[in-house]
Amino acid sequence: MPARAAGHDSLAGIDLLDVMMIHDQRLRPASRDRRGALRWETIVPAAARLVVGAGLLLGAMGQAMALEPGSAPADRPDDAPDLRIPFPVIRAAGALERRGKPVLLAGVVVTQPAETCGDDADRWPCGQMALTAIRRFVRTRTIECAFVPAEGGDAQGAKCSVAGEDIGQWLVSQGWARSDGSDYGEAEEEARKARLGVWSPTRPGIAKQALAGAISEAEAAEAAVRVEVNLSSQQLTLIHRGTVVANWPVSTARAGKITPTGRWRAQWLSRHHRSSLYNGAPMPYSVFFNGDYAIHGTNEIGRLGRPASAGCIRLHPSHAAVVFDLARREGLENTLVVVRR
C-alpha cells in the first residue's frame, strides 16, 4: 500500500504526497480518469534520487521534483561496484574507455595494439591479436569495476570483471597481457610456461597451418599457379603454367606490422570476405595462404605500390579477381604463394 503523509492537499481523498514503488521507480498519484482510476506519474528513478535539506527531492538533472518528508538516501551495498560500463569501449588489452577517459586495469601491463612479438621472420602482431581476444571475450557485456589508486595521469586504475570473471586475471592467464608485479604473478608464470599469447615465439594458431601449407622448392616447380610477391619492390608477379601473365603493384605490411616470408600452398578462398580483426574491413577475392594472411582486393588503390596493410597482400580488386579465379580453376593444391624480401 502507498505510504501516506497526512496534512497535505489531496486528490479525491488521496494525498498528493502518497508515494509508492513500482519496478524500482517512485510514483505519485497525479489524477483520476473518467472511471475514477488513479493515474500515477514518475517522480524520479529511485537509483537517481538525492534528498537534501528538509526533504527536497532532486532529479538526475538537479530539478526539484517533489517533497518527500522524512525520506533518506538508501545505503549503498558494500559490494556495489564503483563503476558499470555497458557496451564497453576497449582500446587495448588492459585499457578501457568510459566517456572519453581511460580506465586502466590494475595489476596488468597494457599490451599496446602496435606491439609485435617473436623474432625476425617469425615476428607477429601480438598487440592487435590481444586486442581482438579481449573484445571477443567481453563482447557487449557490461563491465563492473572497483577503483584502486593509480600513479600519475588522469587514468583510473581498476579491478574490472565481466559476468563475475576478473578481466585482468583472464588476460594474464591467456597470455594477452603481462603482470605488473603487483598481482597475477602465478597466472603469468603458467602462461609463460605454456607459451600462450605474447609468450609464443610464433603467431598462435598459425604454426600448424603454415607447416601444412609450406612446400619444398621441388614441389613448387610443379605448381600451375605461382604468385610471387617482392616486399622490397611492392610488386606481385603472376605466373600461370610457366608463363608470366602479369606484374602488379601491391601493398604489404606497414611499419609495426608483419607480412610473413616463405612458400605456401593456397589454403582457402573467400569471394566476399570481411576482416574479423579490423572492424569488418572488406577483403574481396581473398586467397588465404597462411592462417589469417591473404592476398585480396582493396578499396585503397591509391596506396598500392607502398607498404600500407596490416599484414595481408593488397591488390587492385580487378587484379585480385584474376588471382582468385585462377586459384579456383586450378585448385588450391596447385596454387603457390611465394613471399620474399
| CA dist., res. 191 & res. 186, Å (int) | 9
Q: Quick one: pLDDT band at residue 168, thresholds 50, 70, 90?
A: very high
**pLDDT on residue 14:** 39
Instruction: Classify residue 120 by its DSSP letter.
Output: G
Q: Name the percent of the chain lying above pLDDT 70.
A: 70
**pLDDT on residue 60:** 38
* pLDDT, the chain, mean: 78
Which of 170, 199, 228 delimits the end of a domain? 199
Q: Is 126 a catalytic residue?
A: no
Q: Are residues 195 and 177 in the same domain?
A: yes
Residue 75 lies in a domain: no
> pLDDT for 170-207, tens place per residue?
999 999 999 999 899 999 999 998 888 999 888 875 44
Q: Are residues 212 and 334 in the same domain?
A: yes
Q: Are residues 258 and 158 in the same domain?
A: no
Q: Are residues 187 and 219 in the same domain?
A: no
Domain with residue 325: its CATH number is 2.40.440.10
| pLDDT: which is higher, 287 or 42 | 287
**pLDDT over 60 at 6, yes or no:** no
Q: Are residues 276 and 294 in the same domain?
A: yes
| pLDDT: which is higher, 199 or 62 | 199
**pLDDT on residue 98:** 86
**pLDDT over 90 at 274, yes or no:** no
**pLDDT over 70 at 63, yes or no:** no
Find the catalytic residue in 23, 312, 316, 319. Answer: 312
**pLDDT over 90 at 284, yes or no:** yes
**pLDDT on residue 314:** 98
| CA dist., res. 316 & res. 326, Å (int) | 16
Q: Are residues 96 and 169 in the same domain?
A: yes
Q: Quick one: pLDDT band at residue 3, thresholds 50, 70, 90?
A: very low
Find the catalytic residue in 126, 145, 273, 296. Answer: 296
Residue 171 lies in a domain: yes
Q: Quick one: pLDDT band at residue 231, thresholds 50, 70, 90?
A: very high
Calculate mean pLDDT across residues 291-295. Answer: 89
Cell numbers placing 318: 580487378
Q: What is the total count of domains within the chain? A: 3
**pLDDT on residue 222:** 80
**pLDDT on residue 254:** 93
Q: Are residues 141 and 245 in the same domain?
A: no
Which of 167, 199, 231 delimits the end of a domain? 199
Residue 239 lies in a domain: yes
297 φ, ψ (degrees, to nearest 5): -75, 160
Q: Are residues 243 and 147 in the same domain?
A: no
Q: Are residues 323 and 213 in the same domain?
A: yes
Residue 73 lies in a domain: no
**pLDDT over 90 at 232, yes or no:** yes
Q: Name the percent of the chain lying above pLDDT 90.
A: 43
Which of 64-78, 261-275, 285-299 has maximum average pLDDT?
Answer: 285-299
Residue 74 lies in a domain: no
Q: Are residues 105 and 221 in the same domain?
A: no
The residues near 247 (Cβ < 8 Å, ≥ 6 apart) are 235, 236, 237, 238
Q: Torsion over CA of 188, 192, 198 and 204, rounded to 10 degrees?
A: -130
Instruction: Tell whether pTM > 0.75.
Output: no
Lowest mean pLDDT among 288-292, 294-298, 318-322: 288-292
**pLDDT on residue 216:** 65
Domain with residue 130: its CATH number is 2.40.50.90
Q: Is 319 a catalytic residue?
A: no
> pLDDT for 115-164, tens place per residue?
999 887 778 899 988 998 898 888 888 999 998 865 555 455 899 999 88
Helices (H), the chain: 126-138, 167-173, 185-194, 207-213, 217-220, 317-330
Residue 151 lies in a domain: yes
**pLDDT on residue 62:** 39
Calculate mean pLDDT across residues 304-322. Answer: 96
**pLDDT over 50 at 71, yes or no:** no
**pLDDT on residue 24:** 39
Radius of gyration of the chain (CA): 30
Q: Are residues 336 and 213 in the same domain?
A: yes
| CA dist., res. 274 & res. 279, Å (int) | 8
Calculate mean pLDDT across residues 83-91. Answer: 89
Residue 146 lies in a domain: yes
Calculate mean pLDDT across residues 80-106. Answer: 88
Domain interval for residue 40? 10-67
**pLDDT over 50 at 61, yes or no:** no
| pLDDT: which is higher, 280 or 331 | 331
Residue 306 lies in a domain: yes
Q: Are residues 50 and 98 in the same domain?
A: no
| pLDDT: which is higher, 268 or 339 | 339
